[in-house]
Structure 1
Amino acid sequence: MHSTPTKAPFSHPGWQLIPGQLIGLALLILVALGLGSMVLTAGGLDLSTVLNSRYLRGVVWFTVWQATLSVLLSLALALPIARALARYRRFPGRSALLRVMELSLVLPTIVAVSGIIGVYGRQGWATGLLNEWLPGNNWNLYGLNGILLAHVFFNAPLAARVMLQSLEAISPARLRIASQLGLRGWWLWRSVEWPALRSVLPGLSALVFTLCFTSFAIIMTLGGGPSATTLEVAIYQALRFEFDFPQAAVLAVIQLLICGSLWWLVFRQRVESALLPNRQVSHAVPLRAGRAQPLLAAALLALFGLFLLLPLLAISIRGLPALLALDAGVPIYKQLLPATGRSLLIALPAGLASVAVALMILASANRAKNPLLKAIPTTTGYLPLLVPPIVLGTGLFLLLRPGLGNQAQGWLLVALINSLMALPFVIQVLRGPLSSFDRHSLRVADQLGILGWYRWRRMYWPLLRRPMALGLAYGIALSMGDFGVIALFGSPGQPTLPVLLYQQLGSYQVAAAAGTGLWLLMLLVFIFGLLSAIGRPPAHQSKSRLPETTLEPEHA
């Protein structure tokens, strides 16, 4: 006689709603307390200060303008890249290109900027070639040109990954019909590809706009002056140098209103997207293509790969001699190793916390039946995109100021803010796989009482192993590359790796800065490689593959 498994206390599926709802409410309270303490310290909000200041009006306008241009350029480049990657899936180097695209998503901004300067700066490789081909050109990296270039470098791979996921999710039956009808060009785009991309473009545009709108390190290093100042930099200057809490609070509220309004419009459309596609087994579906199309796609992907690799190559070439030099004034290792320890001490807890919170938020949203209970956790998970981390950190610092007595408590606050900043990206990574479970299997598991640890071990872990490892890598990498929050709360005498790199660039230690940038890049590659190996399923488990779609040249 078989006995039904005994249900452990609080193992009923309904209890899975409670942690996510509590975390959602905690995030709301945390953001409210941070902003509230800022407003109370400022003595209230006076929006007329922005309306009456020509400089602040210019800051708001430039922030919106550069973010809009960055979105248009990033999406314009990402769309043909995603289409080429979706159609050609077996060319040499495809996997390496996807890995480089993943790395660019979490590459520390200050490191990438140093590489971009090495390629496109006054003494850069590309600038030298441009001066030979077009003498007397007025190219200048600093200002709007550099800001847009850096934003495209970071956000075009992100947009291409999201679009690629949508294109790869097109059903093989639909592709088979398109192949039988001989659709190509405009008709293939209109009938097959555009319907797959239409639902993700609003959310993707809002995400890229928000990332560019809240950009900090790029503007600090490539802005070039007061005429290229954004709200995030103006808030930092008001807090760090002017101690003007009223102005910082007003600018933070304006940023929250602009980004919040945009995301409110997106969430009204119930946009769903994820960075990691749900891979399924399928066979190849040949589609018609012109003779020149494979060559154009190859040239486009090669140029895009070169665009991503050149700054990384510049970092490597300049940084390797500095890492190999054992004695150059102050040995670089005496600075690197302590800074590495401090960065890992902050990044590891932040990454683990972001994955744990994301899992509970998504589990609660998937289990909820009520639309309000379903929306609370996922919506609050995106709050860190709307609230400036500098403002949130300053507000929490003011709130906890009597109790913050040592450096370790300050680092704990930085780790908390960094985990919140990584939360939206980790949610994006885990959302697709977690929502792809077969509903019938879940109902059968509920009826059989397979809950708690057994449910997690047998059902969730095999599918979430790789996405969780990728989400943890994102959380750790984003925290290790943080410059804004740690620059505000960190100690100059005890810098993390990004702060150390910024100090070296500011004191014109070019060789040491290149070595620090290369060290941080190598550390991130090692973390991604280690977590990728941990997240790889065992060899005896079958590996799923993406639906294959190939293009066959049309013969005359």
Structure 2
Amino acid sequence: MDRRVAQRDRTLTPPFSHPRWRAWPGRAVALLLAGVVAAGFSGLLAEWQWRAVSDLWQSAYLRQVIWFSVYQATLSTGLSLLLAIPVARALHRHPMFAGRGLLLRLTELSLVLPTIVAAFALVAVYGRSGWLNTALDGVGLPFRWNLYGLQGILLAHVFFNAPLAARILLQGLERIPANQWRIAAQLGLTSGPLWRTLEWPALRRVLPGLAVFIFILCFTSFAIVMTLGGGPSATTIEVAIYQSLRYEFDFSRAALLAMVQLLICGSLWLVASRHGTNRNLVPGANDQPGTLRRDARRRDRVLLYLFLVFLALPLLAVVFRGLPGLLGEAGDSQVWWSLGRSLSVALVAAILSCSCGLAILAASQLARHSGHHLSARLLESSGHLTLLVPALVLGTGLFILLRPQLGQPHQGLALVAGINALMALPFVLQVLRGPFATLPPNSLRVADQLNLRGSYRLRWLLLPLLRRPLLLAAAYAAGLSLGDFSVIALFGSPSAPTLPLLLFQQLSAYRIEAASGTAFVMLALLFVVFYILNRWGDRRRRHPASRRLAAGEHAHA
């Protein structure tokens, strides 16, 4: 019986199998992605000069930049994972932890929290006149925390990446079958044996890809290093590329550094993808508490509360310092114009990214259903091309290639929206891949019987069934676009900035009160976007046709 059911499900019509919905949209998107990356490469190669290679080995400054980029990324990755592993274990041990919901929400936002806002938040807490040094003054301690330099960069990277790593590692622990935990409890295994027999084997499958992911995030860090670097000795490749383009007009050096960065990031991603460890690097939406483990300890709760304070304190600083600044800047039209530009760019980027993701997944599933597994893998891999090419590297190539044609601010904003959509596409694909592949077979079968095809199938069946993951993917894409600074720094106009560029201009001009208000607006906007999209995703109302499909599914069963 099971064999007949499996055979029947294999002969199901795939979601986009109608002639109107052949694989051409997904193939067109894949070709477009390859064309954009190729255009970026051509822009880099257009300014390539072999003398720059000799400058790379002869220049002590360039060697220092490359070494510092690798050094700080390695330290940041190690510190983030060293903190994330005990936090993930503590969260898994205490499923009924009082602050679990808030902590999980903060870990979700860590992926899309604007880096320039986080840098300002850390300055408000750990800066020279921040809360920490003020508290040390109050108790009479002579120690002062210096945020700028390597220590500030490491702190900011741990603030960003440790919660993301903890959430992904927690998902790895939650995949351990419940019967294994029951057997371990019957055997009376303590923390050490549990780590060796259950936890470490589960985390070992996730750690390589996660380490590569965090390393690349830290290696390509731009806004944090620009804000907290503190001088030439703490300059990364991304900052050196930006300086070469914007201040020195040395396109050859920028192209060389971009190629070096591409070589390092691409090599790491290829190694990770070859071993299949670069998947499932986006926090999932399932945060249902599990069962209480017998090895739970009180010190786990202390660690979780300290971690929650570590994450929440800088965000609270943005709120407390930003509200007075926002009231003082309420009449400044530049903030609200920047808000409108950021929302426009984020909306376009989210729509483009989700549309491209659906097209690629539909074409991939149709190819796999037809037996063309290699074509399906190539289609999905095309959506991850931008992981191999960091945003600033791609932006550098396009900047060199298109700079004669870019004369109007709206042209730069349109290009920023397109690049942001491509950069968010890998995360959109990871959010949508699982739900898209596990669409209910009975619903598809009933849709076939009702002859529901083409755009009607998309509107009345697929979109209602994919409502929650699709809106979650849109939230990630919009959040990543709202916080983008590296691309807007290249293509944005100082006279028509988005919110991240405006915040950087205010910080550079030491307009701290105005920067506080702008940072608060960005943080509030991010929370509002996630709240609205999550509420829409949780709505249970369906279209009449989808209700009929569900009724037909139950009747058919």
TM-score normalised by L of structure 1: 0.87
Alpha-carbon contact 1:393-1:413 (below 8 Å) kept: no
Q: 1:104-131: CA deviations, max 9, x gaps?
A: 3211111111110111111122234456
User: Superposition pairs for residues 220-235 of structure 1, below 5 Å?
Assistant: 220-235=226-241
SS of 1:270's equivalent?
coil
Deviates more, 1:475-484 or 1:386-395: 386-395
Q: Does 1:238 align with 2:244?
A: yes
Alpha-carbon contact 2:172-2:203 (below 8 Å) kept: yes
Q: Does 1:324 align with 2:327?
A: yes
Q: 1:308 aligns with which of 304, 308, 311?
A: 311
SS of 1:224's equivalent?
coil
Match of 1:34 in 2: 40
User: In 2, Cα distance between the equivalents of 1:61 and 1:89?
Assistant: 42
Q: Name the CA shift for 1:366/1:194 in 2 (closer, same or farther; >3 Å).
A: farther
User: In 1, Cα distance between the equivalents of 2:417 and 2:332?
Assistant: 24
User: 1:9 Cα shift?
Assistant: 13
Match of 1:353 in 2: 352
Q: 1:290-322: CA deviations, max 9, x gaps?
A: xxx431111111111100111111111111112
User: In 1, Cα distance between the equivalents of 2:541 and 2:51?
Assistant: 60
Alpha-carbon contact 2:15-2:362 (below 8 Å) kept: no
Alpha-carbon contact 2:127-2:145 (below 8 Å) kept: no
Match of 2:332 in 1: 333
Structure 1 alignment gaps of length 5 or more? 1-6, 542-556
Q: 1:373 aligns with which of 362, 372, 375?
A: 375
Q: Name the CA shift for 1:71/1:246 in 2 (closer, same or farther; >3 Å).
A: same
Q: Name the CA shift for 1:444/1:324 in 2 (closer, same or farther; >3 Å).
A: closer
Q: 1:206-245: CA deviations, max 9, x gaps?
A: 1111110100000001011111110000110111111111
User: In 1, Cα distance between the equivalents of 2:446 and 2:482?
Assistant: 42
User: In 1, Cα distance between the equivalents of 2:304 and 2:379?
Assistant: 38
Alpha-carbon contact 1:216-1:233 (below 8 Å) kept: yes
Q: Name the CA shift for 1:9/1:92 in 2 (closer, same or farther; >3 Å).
A: closer
Q: Does 1:123 align with 2:129?
A: yes
Q: 1:396-451: CA deviations, max 9, x gaps?
A: 24434454442222211111111122222222322333344467976897799665
Alpha-carbon contact 1:44-1:246 (below 8 Å) kept: no
User: 1:391 Cα shift?
Assistant: 3.3
User: In 1, Cα distance between the equivalents of 2:15 and 2:80?
Assistant: 50
User: In 2, Cα distance between the equivalents of 1:227 and 1:284?
Assistant: 47
User: 1:80 Cα shift?
Assistant: 1.6
Match of 1:88 in 2: 94
SS of 1:391's equivalent?
helix
User: In 2, Cα distance between the equivalents of 1:387 and 1:525?
Assistant: 29
Structure 2 alignment gaps of length 5 or more? 1-12, 547-557
CA root-mean-square deviation: 3.0
User: Superposition pairs for residues 442-521 of structure 1, below 5 Å?
Assistant: 452-453=454-455, 456=458, 460-521=462-523
User: 1:395 Cα shift?
Assistant: 2.5
User: In 1, Cα distance between the equivalents of 2:51 and 2:437?
Assistant: 42
Alpha-carbon contact 2:95-2:292 (below 8 Å) kept: no
Identity %, equivalent residues: 53
Q: Which amino acid aligns with 1:306?
A: V
Match of 2:276 in 1: 270
Q: Name the CA shift for 1:538/1:239 in 2 (closer, same or farther; >3 Å).
A: same
User: In 2, Cα distance between the equivalents of 1:297 and 1:455?
Assistant: 49
Match of 2:77 in 1: 71
Q: 1:532 aligns with which of 516, 523, 534?
A: 534
User: In 2, Cα distance between the equivalents of 1:397 and 1:303?
Assistant: 44
Deviates more, 1:206-215 or 1:453-462: 453-462
User: In 2, Cα distance between the equivalents of 1:280 and 1:506?
Assistant: 40
User: In 2, Cα distance between the equivalents of 1:409 and 1:384?
Assistant: 21
User: 1:170 Cα shift?
Assistant: 2.1
Q: Which amino acid aligns with 1:430?
A: L
Alpha-carbon contact 1:144-1:228 (below 8 Å) kept: yes
User: 1:175 Cα shift?
Assistant: 2.3
Aligned length: 528
Alpha-carbon contact 1:175-1:285 (below 8 Å) kept: no
Match of 1:142 in 2: 148
TM-score normalised by L of structure 2: 0.87
Deviates more, 1:32-41 or 1:365-374: 365-374
Q: 1:248-267: CA deviations, max 9, x gaps?
A: 11111111111111111111
User: 1:14 Cα shift?
Assistant: 11
User: Superposition pairs for residues 276-287 of structure 1, below 5 Å?
Assistant: 276-277=283-284, 279=286, 285-287=291-293
Alpha-carbon contact 1:462-1:537 (below 8 Å) kept: no
Match of 1:546 in 2: none
Q: 1:201 aligns with which of 204, 207, 218?
A: 207
Match of 2:411 in 1: 409
SS of 2:500's equivalent?
helix
User: In 2, Cα distance between the equivalents of 1:445 and 1:537?
Assistant: 23
Q: Which amino acid aligns with 1:361?
A: I
